[in-house]
Amino acid sequence: DVKVTQSSRYLVKRTGEKVFLECVQDMDHENMFWYRQDPGLGLRLIYFSYDVKMKEKGDIPEGYSVSREKKERFSLILESASTNQTSMYLCASSHRQRGTDTQYFGPGTRLTVL
Amino acid sequence: GEDVEQSLFLSVREGDSSVINCTYTDSSSTYLYWYKQEPGAGLQLLTYIFSNMDMKQDQRLTVLLNKKDKHLSLRIADTQTGDSAIYFCAENNQAGTALIFGKGTTLSVSS
């Protein structure tokens, strides 16, 4: 059974703080993704990674950075949190099979920035 | 550009069938997906369909694909209160590097 875990379910931070969101998968997946989910906007891709130390910008990378030092771990970093980054953050991973990109999701981290 | 559209809400009575519709733009998508999100949880893969199929059935779930119209639907037979959730349709992007999700359809099931 694929398992994707995220370090916190709920997080409250103050404006200007540096925030780390951690994601770990146990299925040796090559690909990992960070999304944010907001009411009425659905899921929006922030960053993704196809391999260790590799990263690609998604649709809304501004204000975020990522780190992938090990294959199983993908971190999302908010360098200086702002109130408009209050959201649900979802991590996903996938194994790059031929022609498919089935993604498996973690439970999400609900971040509130005050 | 690439886009996936879904209606935002659907309300049904317990025992009825639910049909959730989705349209997509990228005709080169190899697979199309349905995910379910229960309150406070992440997304769970429900099913997917290969683009050369027009129907796939899995217990109470039936997926229909009309490639000509770029229309995908998910039918849930005998809908239960436990089916209340947000359902997302998704396709591969043109580069094949990521999934593009619709905004999700909130299914509300009343008893």
- Summarize the confidence of residues B21-47 as an average pLDDT: 88
pLDDT-wise least confident of A50-64, A94-108, B31-45, B92-106? A94-108
Yes or no, beta carbons of A101 and B96 under 8 Å apart: yes
Q: Which of A2, A77, A14, A83 is nearest to A46 (CA)?
A: A77
B33 contacts chain A (CB < 8 A): yes
Residue A5's pLDDT band (cuts 50, 70, 90): very high
Mean pLDDT of chain B: 91
Residue A42's pLDDT band (cuts 50, 70, 90): confident
| Pairwise CA distance, residues B54 & B76, whole Å | 17
* B51/B10: higher pLDDT: B10
* Backbone dihedral angles phi then psi of residue A31, each to the nearest 5 degrees: -100, 140
Measured between CB atoms, which of B31, B42, B101 is closest to A100?
B31
The burial class, CB within 10 Å (0-12 / 13-18 / 19+), for B101 is buried
What pLDDT does B1 receive?
61
B93 contacts chain A (CB < 8 A): no
Residues from chain B that touch A5, judged by Cβ atoms under 8 A, are none
Residues from chain B that touch A40, judged by Cβ atoms under 8 A, are 8, 103
| Pairwise CA distance, residues B63 & B20, whole Å | 10
Q: Which residue type, as a one-letter code, is found at position B81?
A: T
* A98/B34: higher pLDDT: B34
| Pairwise CA distance, residues B57 & B50, whole Å | 12
Measured between CB atoms, which of A41, A56, A99 is closest to B30?
A99
pLDDT reading at A98 higher than 60: no
What pLDDT does A85 receive?
98
pLDDT reading at A83 higher than 90: yes
Yes or no, beta carbons of A105 and B44 under 8 Å apart: yes
What pLDDT does B51 receive?
83
pLDDT reading at A100 higher than 80: no
- Summarize the confidence of residues A20-42 as an average pLDDT: 93
